[in-house]
């Protein structure tokens, strides 16, 4: 029995409510894998999609056929861009022109660039399959994808030239280039499909920033331990308030300051929630809604998990698979979104220490989120992720500031 299987069984024993959603997710995943197209280039794209993101790939599979193909190709192109940007073994002077010209390479089925590791190396080595699929998309999809990959590549190249992310403004700009543009690109694809109106760019941008900042918070240790050169995305304007250098947070003697900095970063990410909820309320198509809502709920759940959690500096912190399955299974309407955001924000609020330097701001942002959820008038229908697993958890445990 594999280590992953043992871990899943242990988690199910601790959280019996995960069993049914996990089984549904496993069945749906198997069915999705059987539905992979027969054409070699599309077979590669969809099989690769499931390798680089199983849960995200499953949600993409539920979109309408034409939009599904466009989003699949878009996602793989973004993973390819990320692979080039993330590979610290590539010389900067080689990397910059590749990023700057990437939007042109997607039209060339003969182009490839070997970099990355594991499944990402396969993606880059056999990039011609993705280009071939891209060339079969409707022209409006191609135009939207080219525009976004051009802007993202240019933004990534700009930040490679910077030694570090200095200010919070720099941090927002970097997240805009690598993720805000993703939100804007998806909005353009939804619009091109004829299923949605074109969402405002600031709202689409917020969708990306919320996810990206969550990942940056969660991935501190992975990024700081990157070889041959560490990567630091936490802005100096934040971490310098708590340490001489960001690597210091790994040391146990700096745990108190590390937690304070972590909580500061989580609090910064929460500022985007209101715009994200506004975006989700405007979606009309049920499949597109599910596609957009699930990652946002997983993000607020991950921030709840990371807040005040020293394990961010010690190892891997991620939502357990059963909870992810539960989110995928339950998320169908805006009422589900409000319930989940209320649930996780309530949990996060209960962890706030009155002595934390950002406690008042964190509470203020959590209160704003909870007010939006309460004002929706849908919370009476919500079955909490928390209370069904921890009967001892009640709002009375909340800190009062």
Active site residue 231: yes
Token pair of 85, please? 């940007």
Q: How far apart are the first and last CA of the chain?
A: 48
Active site residue 241: no
3-state secondary structure 159-197: HHCCCCCCCHHHHHHHHHHHHHHHHHHHHHHHHHCCCCC
Phi, psi at residue 241, to the nearest 5°?
-75, -15
Spatial distance between the Cα atoms of 295 and 389, rounded to a whole number of angstroms: 22
Determine which one of 113, 120, 171, 174 is catalytic. Answer: 174
Determine which one of 218, 236, 349, 365 is catalytic. Answer: 218
Active site residue 127: no
Active site residue 342: no
- Cis geometry, peptide bond prior to residue 228 (ω within 30 degrees of 0): yes
- Among candidates 81, 124, 136, 129, which has minimal Cα distance to 109? 129
Residues in the chain: 401
Determine which one of 44, 120, 249, 291 is catalytic. Answer: 291
- Among candidates 81, 61, 83, 80, which has minimal Cα distance to 72? 61
User: What is the Cβ-side half-sphere exposure of residue 301, based on CA atoms within 13 angstroms?
Assistant: 24
Residue pair 171/177 in contact by the 8 Å Cβ criterion: no
Residue pair 372/280 in contact by the 8 Å Cβ criterion: no
Determine which one of 19, 54, 159, 231 is catalytic. Answer: 231
Collapsing DSSP to helix, strand or coil, 231 comes out as coil
Residue pair 150/116 in contact by the 8 Å Cβ criterion: no
Instruction: Output the CA–CA distances (angstroms, integers) from residue 300 to 161, 236, 277, 318, 327, in the order listed.
Output: 32, 24, 12, 12, 12
| Catalytic (active-site) positions | 174, 218, 231, 291
């Amino acid at each position: 029995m594999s280590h992953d299987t043992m871990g899943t069984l242990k988690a199910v024993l601790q959280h019996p409510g995960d069993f049914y959603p996990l089984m549904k997710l496993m069945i749906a995943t198997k069915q999705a894998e059987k539905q992979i197209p027969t054409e070699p280039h599309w077979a590669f794209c969809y099989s690769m999609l499931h390798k680089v993101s199983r849960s995200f790939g499953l949600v993409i599979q539920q979109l309408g056929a034409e939009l599904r193909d466009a989003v699949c190709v878009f996602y793989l192109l973004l993973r390819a861009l990320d692979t080039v940007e993330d590979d610290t073994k590539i010389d900067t002077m080689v990397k910059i022109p590749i990023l700057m010209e990437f939007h042109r390479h997607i039209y060339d089925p003969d182009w490839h660039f070997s970099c990355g590791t594991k499944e990402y190396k396969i993606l880059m080595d056999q990039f011609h399959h993705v280009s071939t699929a891209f060339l079969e998309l409707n022209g409006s999809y191609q135009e939207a994808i080219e525009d976004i990959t051009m802007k993202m590549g240019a933004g990534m190249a700009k930040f490679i030239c910077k030694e570090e992310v200095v200010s919070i403004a720099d941090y927002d700009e970097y997240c805009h280039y690598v993720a805000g543009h993703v939100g804007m690109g998806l909005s353009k694809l939804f619009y091109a499909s004829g299923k949605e109106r074109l969402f405002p760019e600031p709202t689409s941008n917020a969708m990306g920033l919320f996810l990206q900042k969550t990942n940056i918070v969660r991935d501190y240790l992975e990024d700081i331990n990157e070889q041959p050169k560490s990567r630091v995305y936490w802005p100096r304007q934040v971490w310098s308030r708590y340490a001489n250098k960001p690597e210091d947070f790994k040391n146990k003697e700096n745990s108190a300051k590390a937690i304070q900095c972590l909580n500061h970063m989580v609090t910064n990410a929460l500022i985007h929630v209101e715009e994200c909820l506004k975006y989700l309320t405007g979606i009309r198509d049920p499949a597109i809604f599910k596609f957009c809502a699930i990652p946002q709920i997983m993000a607020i759940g991950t921030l709840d998990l990371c807040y005040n959690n020293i394990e961010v500096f010690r190892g891997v912190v991620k939502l357990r698979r059963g909870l992810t399955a539960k989110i995928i299974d339950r998320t169908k309407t805006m009422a589900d979104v409000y319930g989940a955001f209320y649930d996780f924000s309530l949990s996060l609020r209960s962890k706030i220490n009155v002595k934390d330097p950002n406690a008042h701001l964190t509470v203020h942002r959590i209160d704003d989120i909870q007010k939006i959820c309460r004002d929706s008038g849908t919370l009476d229908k919500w079955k909490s992720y928390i209370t069904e697993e921890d009967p001892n958890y009640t709002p009375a445990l909340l800190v009062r500031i």
